[in-house]
C-alpha cells in the first residue's frame, strides 16, 4: 500500500512540506513525498479533451503526476493559505483531477486523503477548500491537521514597519520580530502529534480496506 504526500507550497522545506512529511513518517506503509514547488501545472482549461479517455491533453508536469496519483492508494495533500483561500498552485493541481471523473465514475474512487493545512494567520482555510473538492473525485477524507506557518513578512526585511503585513496583524503595530515570535512548527508540538495520529489513521483505513494480498506494508498486523 502506497501513500503519496503532495505539498502545494512553492516554498521548499517550509511548514507545509514539513507537516506533510510528519504525517507520512508516522505510517508503516510505502510513502513518497512530492513538492509542487517549481512544477508547471496549468489550470483546467475546460476543453473537454479528457472526456473520452480520462487523459488530460495539457502537456505539463501533471502528465507524470497523473501516474503517481493513479498508483497510490492514499494521499496526504498539503497546502498553504494565500489570501484567505487555497494557494493557486494547489488549486490548479486539484482542478486537473477533473480528467479522472468522467463517465459515471472516478479513477480515484475509494482512495483516501488526509489534509495538511497551513496559514500564517488562518491555517484552516485551505483544508476547507480541499475537503470540498474531494467528493468530486470520490476520494474519502480521513482527517485534517492544521498549523501556523511563518508568513514571508517575518523575513522580508520590512515586517516591523509595514502596516499591511502579517507581523503587524499578528503582533500589533511597531512590534519587534524576535526568534521566539516567528511562528515555527518546532513550537507547536501538539501539531506534530496530531500529524502522527493522522498518519496512523490513514494507515488504519488502508489496512481495513485492503485485500490480504495488497497488505504489503511493514505494520505488525500486515504480516
Residues found near ligand FMN in the complex (CB under 6 A): 9, 11, 14-16, 80-84, 118-122, 149-152
Q: Which residue lies nearer to ligand FMN by CB, 180 or 221? A: 180
Smallest distance, ligand FMN to C-beta of residue 21, A: 11
Residue 125 · residue 83 · CB < 8 Å: no
Q: Which residue lies nearer to ligand FMN by CB, 16 or 99? A: 16
The one-character DSSP state at 175 is P
CA distance 7 to 33: 8
Q: Which residue lies nearer to ligand FMN by CB, 45 or 84? A: 84
CA distance 18 to 25: 10
CA distance 153 to 100: 38
DSSP string, 18-61: HHHHHHHHT-SSEEEEEE-TT---PPP----TTTTTS-----ST
Helix (H) / strand (E) element for 123: namely none
Q: Which residue lies nearer to ligand FMN by CB, 58 or 147? A: 147
Smallest distance, ligand FMN to C-beta of residue 191, A: 12
Residue of minimal Cβ distance to ligand FMN: 149
Smallest distance, ligand FMN to C-beta of residue 126, A: 8
Smallest distance, ligand FMN to C-beta of residue 133, A: 18
Tell whether the torsion through CA atoms of 161, 166, 169 and 175 is positive or negative. negative
The one-character DSSP state at 155 is T
Only one residue has cell 484552516, namely 124
Q: Which residue lies nearer to ligand FMN by CB, 71 or 155? A: 155
Q: Which residue lies nearer to ligand FMN by CB, 53 or 124? A: 124
Only one residue has cell 479522472, namely 100
Smallest distance, ligand FMN to C-beta of residue 125, A: 7
Smallest distance, ligand FMN to C-beta of residue 188, A: 12
Amino acid at each position: 500500500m502506497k501513500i503519496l504526500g503532495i505539498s502545494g507550497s512553492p516554498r521548499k522545506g517550509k511548514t507545509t512540506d514539513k507537516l506533510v512529511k510528519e504525517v507520512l513518517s508516522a505510517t508503516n506503509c510505502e510513502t513518497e513525498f512530492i513538492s509542487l514547488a517549481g512544477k508547471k501545472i496549468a489550470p483546467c482549461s475546460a476543453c473537454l479533451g479528457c472526456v473520452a479517455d480520462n487523459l488530460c491533453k495539457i502537456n505539463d508536469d501533471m502528465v507524470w503526476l497523473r501516474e503517481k496519483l493513479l498508483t497510490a492508494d492514499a494521499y496526504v495533500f498539503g497546502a498553504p493559505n494565500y489570501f484567505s483561500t487555497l494557494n493557486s498552485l494547489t488549486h490548479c493541481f486539484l482542478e486537473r483531477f477533473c480528467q479522472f471523473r468522467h463517465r459515471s465514475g472516478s479513477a480515484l474512487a475509494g482512495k483516501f486523503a488526509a489534509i495538511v493545512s497551513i496559514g500564517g494567520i488562518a491555517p484552516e482555510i485551505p483544508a476547507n477548500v480541499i475537503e470540498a473538492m474531494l467528493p468530486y473525485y470520490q476520494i474519502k477524507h480521513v482527517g485534517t491537521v492544521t498549523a501556523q506557518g511563518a508568513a514571508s513578512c517575518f523575513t522580508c526585511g520590512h515586517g516591523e514597519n509595514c502596516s499591511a503585513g502579517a507581523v503587524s496583524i499578528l503582533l500589533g503595530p511597531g512590534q519587534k520580530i524576535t526568534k521566539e515570535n516567528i511562528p515555527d512548527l518546532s513550537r507547536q508540538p501538539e501539531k506534530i502529534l496530531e500529524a502522527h495520529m493522522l498518519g496512523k489513521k490513514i494507515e488504519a483505513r488502508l489496512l481495513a480496506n485492503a485485500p490480504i494480498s495488497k497488505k504489503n506494508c511493514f505494520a505488525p498486523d500486515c504480516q
